[in-house]
Structure 1
Amino acid sequence: IHLAWYGGKSYIEAAKRAKAEAFAQVVDTEGGKGYYSHLITNKDNPIVAEAKAMGGDKYVIKNAGNLTFAFNDPNSTSGFLVPSYYVFAQNEVDPKKAFKRLIFSGSHEATALAIANNQVDVATNNNEALDRLQKTNPKARANIETIWTSTLIPSDPIAYRQDLPADLKQKIRDFFYNYKEAKVLKPHGWSGFAQADDKIWNPVRELDLAKKILELENKENMTAEDKQQLEEFRQQLNAIKSN
């Protein structure tokens, strides 16, 4: 593969393991270069009023033992990494142990439909996926209520292999930076693609490392290997923050 379109979490893995290099990111029709992770529930679920009053993240933590929950995919930024850190890791809660039932649905559409059809109580999603659902399945979208919203997540990167010839990289960049086909872009809520570089996704790296650090710090009976890994994660996090 020479060129790929990633989510933030999958991009940082590809950059680390497969020499992927981000060069562009999506820009929405209002000029935004980011999106938001959500916790969602069915609009008729009895938890809605209390969850919105308390804050969906706080409600989920307090009542996890009585709830069924769906993540998207372990490599999803908004469907796993962001809620894993902000909702669970920062509150020292292990979602694998906390919920009455926990599943991974595999996609944003699947988690949305699981909520719309009352198959789980709470699930992860993001505003872009919910906007798409409004167009493709408005009946399902009407059944979904958002109970928590994250901070802004950098929009998805487009990356090529680091070892591509420089002249080919330039042609690829020129194509994306000048692409303005409204009939292709507009249905997705995009206006085009902006220049970007690898550092834009450092906040995603920080989230990933911070989550791993918290998980190790909360682990009982850490082994020598765990302690060494914890120190390595801390060094990596400090290195990213200093850049």
Structure 2
Amino acid sequence: MKRILAAGLVLAGLTAPLAAQEVKELNFGIISTESSAGLAKSFEPMLKDLEKAVGVPVKAFFAQDYAGVIEGMRFKKVDLAWYGNKSAMEAVDRAGGEIFVQTTKPDGTKGYYSLIITNADNNAVNNLKDVVDCSKGLTFGNGDPNSTSGNLVPSYYVFALNKVDPNKCYKRVVVSNHEGNALAVANKQVDIATNNTESMDRLKDVRPAEAAKLKEVWRSPLIPSDPLVWRTDLPADMKAKIYTFFLTYGRLGSDEEVARQRAILAKTSDGWGTFVPSSNAQLYPIRQLELFKTRLKVEASDKLSADEKAKQLKEIDAKLAALDEQMKKVPSM
């Protein structure tokens, strides 16, 4: 563990001194997968331990949607944050963010699945074919535009590949977070909605009656586990403290302390295990998926001239080829 930590600090450039203004407080951004009250209760114990480790107050930062946390990092109101992969990509590209660790499950697995769910009583929707049948007049709960599992993944695998535009296919489309969509389906306010296995696990824990009213009708390929992202301009000494905290949390210390920390992690979000090192390379598959989705959209467009379509497709293919070369040199985490 010590060798891994030391190597990670060197790779992250955290062992060299860096003159910077003193950090007096850290704001930890938390994406809005459910109510802020539920998330605050879930994250508070871990953030209290982080506060002790880094020596400055650590405050949770909430926003109405994922974009609010991304913008918070962009304007330096958020110092580090828990994101999904899609929102992490936006934070890296637009808000000066950098992935430094990745979450895992208590059993050590590093991934989860996007879902389409419906009410257990809904006999008209049982599989993907039913989901994309526009003659059914369904109502649809979509996820936050910056959500990986609630928006990006289903927008490609469910809709783009089947040449379906949700806004044209469904009688009504609403947008909410994972918890909001699950409750809307359970209460029969919408017929189908996006979600993911992590949020379903948490719903079974906090609202088992509503969870029992849901059934899964589609599941995606495996999605990489969520990353933690910090601002690249944080002082190196603070980054070193943060990095050390997350990589040793639930790993080092007395048996009692390790057990206490792992119990805290198991109740954080949908239930986490220990953290593992990561980097922006984790986003390669997500970038690839975004480009594939865009390519299908351009290819199917009837608003572009043949020349313009060919030009855009050539540009997208060049980006995909460059990304493929990059992935060969630096494998995704």
Both proteins in one fold, TM over 0.5: yes
> Superposition pairs for residues 152-191 of structure 1, below 5 Å?
152-180=222-250, 181-188=261-268, 189-191=271-273
* Residue aligned with 1:46, SS: coil
* Shift of residue 169, structure 1, vs aligned partner: 2.1
2:152 aligned partner, one-letter code: L
8 Å Cα contact 1:36-1:149 kept in structure 2: yes
* Shift of residue 5, structure 1, vs aligned partner: 1.2
How far apart, in 1, do the equivalents of 2:276 and 2:187 lie?
37
How far apart, in 2, do the equivalents of 1:110 and 1:200 lie?
28
8 Å Cα contact 1:65-1:98 kept in structure 2: no
* Residue aligned with 1:190, SS: coil
Which shows bigger deviation, 209-218 or 149-158? Answer: 209-218
Q: Deviations over 1:20-61 (max 9, x none)?
A: 11011111011111110000000001224xx2xxxx222211
> Superposition pairs for residues 53-132 of structure 1, below 5 Å?
56-63=127-134, 65-105=136-176, 107-132=177-202
TM-score (norm 2): 0.67
Q: Give structure 2 stretches of 5+ with no counterpart.
A: 1-77, 251-260, 327-333
8 Å Cα contact 1:8-1:157 kept in structure 2: yes
1:38 aligned partner, one-letter code: L
8 Å Cα contact 1:35-1:127 kept in structure 2: yes
How far apart, in 2, do the equivalents of 1:179 and 1:201 lie?
24
* Residue aligned with 2:233, SS: coil
Q: Give structure 1 stretches of 5+ with no counterpart.
A: none
* Shift of residue 228, structure 1, vs aligned partner: 4.6
How far apart, in 2, do the equivalents of 1:103 and 1:226 lie?
31
Q: Deviations over 1:81-109 (max 9, x none)?
A: 0000001101121112111221112x000
How far apart, in 1, do the equivalents of 2:180 and 2:80 lie?
26
How many pairs are equivalent?
236
Q: Which has the higher contact order (CA 8 A, sep 6+)?
A: 1
Aligned to 1:214: 296
* Shift of residue 135, structure 1, vs aligned partner: 1.1
How far apart, in 2, do the equivalents of 1:18 and 1:144 lie?
37
Larger Rg: 2
8 Å Cα contact 1:64-1:100 kept in structure 2: no
What RMSD in Å do the two structures reach over aligned CA positions? 1.7
Structure with more strand by fraction: 1
How far apart, in 1, do the equivalents of 2:164 and 2:119 lie?
23
TM-aligned CA distance change 1:226 to 1:15, over 3 Å: farther
TM-aligned CA distance change 1:229 to 1:165, over 3 Å: farther
TM-score (norm 1): 0.91
Alignment match of 1:233 (pick from 307, 312, 316):
316
Which shows bigger deviation, 177-186 or 63-72? Answer: 63-72
* Residue aligned with 2:274, SS: strand
